[in-house]
């Protein structure tokens, strides 16, 4: 890999994987600890095992632009995203550590709004913010604010859920409408107005995951953030060595999201969400899981969108509204940079 880093290299698609493989997987010799899930899994987090518990960790950097957007801000995004990453491994989120870096001259009023949003998102799921750091960069050396957040969660030893666990016969659920966050950011950033304003779906969705876990039979989970639904489904299919068939008519999109995607020449399947999950669950428990998810605050628009098969391992195939079938490819990079 020659040349220089581009925005696409940090967008969560194939280019990001190339960077991770060359500069991290091939360099770090010790990639797991205490018999837990490590870097090789390339999942939403990692774990270490104790006598009775598995402790899950997740870390992410949040560099969204703009920092205030319809339905949220960078503070709510950072805490919600971190809680959701821990949740995707089947662990109950319990704590967050954060590091906030701002540009010299950043408004204290804006900082207070952002911190209040962090507080409110954490309190929604009774997560403690236990430690952190605050630094200032010289003016012009940083674009406003960056937040790094580390999440901690717990589950029973051996009960962790990986995105490589999908099995033939499973059903695939999404917990709500797709692409809302992506369109909310585009509209704010580009000054585009729609008849109906799309609000970001940024939210901590442990309540949704907990409802699914209580039913049982969850085999894999992934939140459709960078890379959107296409990225999440492809990661599950590749890692699980299965085929995922999706029915286009079952995927919940809001009409303005489809309209915005068509207007901007973007695939709605690659637009990210920040308060949704893809959940792969045992066929026999799929309807019950769906019903329980629909009872939660953030799962009312959940749908079963497809199923897992074995004949073309690593592929995601979509049955289109026109009656055909096509491959839903994994994104190369995020179509909209600095969106999470």
Q: Which helix (H) or strand (E) holds 340?
A: none
Kindly state the average pLDDT of the residues 317-326. Answer: 92
Kindly state the average pLDDT of the residues 58-62. Answer: 95
Q: Phi first, then psi: give them for residue 34, nearest 5 degrees.
A: 50, 45
Rounded Cα distance, 210 and 302, in Å:
15
The pLDDT of residue 334 is 61
State which CATH number among 3.30.930.10, 1.10.240.10, 2.30.110.10, 3.90.650.10 fits the domain covering 171-327: 3.90.650.10
The pLDDT of residue 29 is 83
- Does the 31-156 domain belong in CATH 3.30.1330.10? yes
pLDDT at 127 over 70: yes
Count Cβ atoms within 10 A of the Cβ of residue 12 and give its class: 0-12 exposed, 13-18 middle, 19 or more buried.
buried
Give the pLDDT confidence of 199-251 residue by residue, as tens digits: 999 999 999 999 999 999 999 999 999 899 999 999 999 999 999 999 999 99
Average pLDDT, the chain: 92
- Where along the chain do its domains lie? 31-156, 171-327
The angle subtended at Cα 8 by Cα 23 and Cα 187, nearest 5°, is: 145
* Interior/surface letters 67-104, b for 16+ CB within 10 angstroms, e for the rest: bebebbbbbbbbbbbbbbbbbbbbbbbbbbbbbbbbbe
Which position has the token pair 């913010």? 129
The pLDDT of residue 247 is 97
Instruction: List for the chain the helix, strand, coil content (%; round to 5).
Output: 35, 25, 40
């Amino acid at each position: 890999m020659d040349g220089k880093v581009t925005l696409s290299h940090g967008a969560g698609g194939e280019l990001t994987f190339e960077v991770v493989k060359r500069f991290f997987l091939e360099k770090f010799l010790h990639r797991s600890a205490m018999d837990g899930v490590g870097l090789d899994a390339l999942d939403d987090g990692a774990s270490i095992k104790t006598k009775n518990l598995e402790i899950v960790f997740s870390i992410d950097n949040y560099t969204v632009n703009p920092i205030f957007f319809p339905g949220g801000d960078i503070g709510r995004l950072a805490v919600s995203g971190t809680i959701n990453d821990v949740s995707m491994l089947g662990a109950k989120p319990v704590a967050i550590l954060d590091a906030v870096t701002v540009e010299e001259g950043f408004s204290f009023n804006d900082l207070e709004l952002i911190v209040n949003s962090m507080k409110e998102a954490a309190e929604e799921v009774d997560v403690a913010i236990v430690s952190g750091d605050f630094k200032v960069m010289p003016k012009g050396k940083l674009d406003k604010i960056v937040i790094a957040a580390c999440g901690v969660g717990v589950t029973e030893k051996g009960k962790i859920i990986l995105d490589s666990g999908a099995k033939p016969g499973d059903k695939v659920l999404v917990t709500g409408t797709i692409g809302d966050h992506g369109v909310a950011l585009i509209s704010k950033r580009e000054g585009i107005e729609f008849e109906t304003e799309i609000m970001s779906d940024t939210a901590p969705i442990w309540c949704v995951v907990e409802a699914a876990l209580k039913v049982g039979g969850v085999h894999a989970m992934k939140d459709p953030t960078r890379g959107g639904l296409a990225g999440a489904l492809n990661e599950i299919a590749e890692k699980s060595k299965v085929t995922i068939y999706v029915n286009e008519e079952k995927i919940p999109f809001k009409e303005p999201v489809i309209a915005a995607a068509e207007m901007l020449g973007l695939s709605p399947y690659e637009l990210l969400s920040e308060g949704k999950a893809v959940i792969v669950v045992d066929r026999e428990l799929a309807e019950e899981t769906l019903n329980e998810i629909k009872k939660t605050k953030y799962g009312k628009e959940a749908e079963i969108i497809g199923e897992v098969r074995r004949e073309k391992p690593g592929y995601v195939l979509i049955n289109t509204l026109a009656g055909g079938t096509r491959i839903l490819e994994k994104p190369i990079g995020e179509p909209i940079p600095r969106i999470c």
